[in-house]
Amino acid sequence: MSKQIPEPVATFFDRVNAHDEAALDAFTDDAVVDDWGREFLGRQEIAAWSAQEFIGSKGVLTVESVEDT
């Protein structure tokens, strides 16, 4: 088990925890976010969802373990 988060995942987590909208750069134009069964398709829908419930809610992601498989 690795103790370090690999790139680009580490950068994504850093940006999310800094409440930086640049975290959304991790998503492609055809990306899908599944938030407990609600799907948000593409960067525009993901950005709108994020503004309310992800980056906009000022939450913090905490990594409890990292496994490289």
Q: Does any domain span residue 35? A: yes
Q: Does any domain span residue 34? A: yes
Q: Does any domain span residue 43? A: yes
Name the DSSP class of 5.
P
pTM: 0.83
Q: Does any domain span residue 52? A: yes
Cis geometry, peptide bond prior to residue 6 (ω within 30 degrees of 0): no
Q: Does any domain span residue 11? A: no
Q: Which structural domain, as residue segments, surrounds residue 44?
A: 29-57
pLDDT, tens only, 14-42: 999 999 999 999 999 999 999 999 999 99
Residues ≥6 apart with Cβ < 8 Å to 40: 32, 33, 46, 48, 49
**Residue 23, by phi and psi: left (phi above 0), alpha (psi -120 to 50) or beta?**
alpha
Q: Does any domain span residue 17? A: no
Look at the chain and report how many structural domains it folds into: 1
For residues 28 and 5, what is the distance between their CA atoms, to the nearest angstrom?
21
Q: Does any domain span residue 46? A: yes
Cβ atoms < 10 Å from Cβ of 16: 20
